[in-house]
Amino acid sequence: MFSPEFIQAKPMLYRQLEGSYSNFAFFRSPNGVVLALFQFEPLASAEDPVWNRPGYHHICLKVDSCQNMYEQMCADGLGDCFFFPPDNMDSEGEHHWVFLRDPDGNMIELQD
């Protein structure tokens, strides 16, 4: 889901020595924002997202078109990840948003 093409970023991949507790990757976008992803072992059980839980809530990514991204991801078999189809954020219908959940249960918002 987080391919370099998806977030238009250059991946910088690192892998710790065998037997270590995590793998991680950093993605730097053209405007300098860095997205750091970690995979820990052993895994804790996933929790359902809770909208009003304190702390980390979700990440928001800007895309060219929420509708195109939604259709592409649904065609790739990821339609069940979405909470709802893309919706208007404003009365003019110029900006859209959509929420989805990644395989680890993290919530992601896409905006165009």
Considering its fold, how many domains does the chain have in total?
A: 2
59: Cα separation from own chain's centroid: 7
Name all contacts of 43-46 with Cβ < 8 Å and 24+ positions apart: 46/104, 46/105
Rounded distance between C-alpha atoms, residue 97 and residue 61, angstroms: 10
CATH number of the domain bearing residue 71: 3.10.180.10
52 falls within a domain: no
Does residue 111 sit in the same domain as residue 61?
A: yes
Does residue 27 sit in the same domain as residue 67?
A: no
The model's pTM is 0.65
Q: 71-82 pLDDT, tens per residue? A: 999 999 999 999
Print the domain residue range for 2: 1-44
90 falls within a domain: yes
Does residue 61 sit in the same domain as residue 98?
A: yes
21 falls within a domain: yes
Rounded distance between C-alpha atoms, residue 35 and residue 40, angstroms: 16
Q: 2-61 pLDDT, tens per residue? A: 555 555 555 554 455 455 567 777 778 788 878 777 777 766 676 666 777 777 778 898
92, HSE (Cβ side, Cα atoms, 13 Å): 2
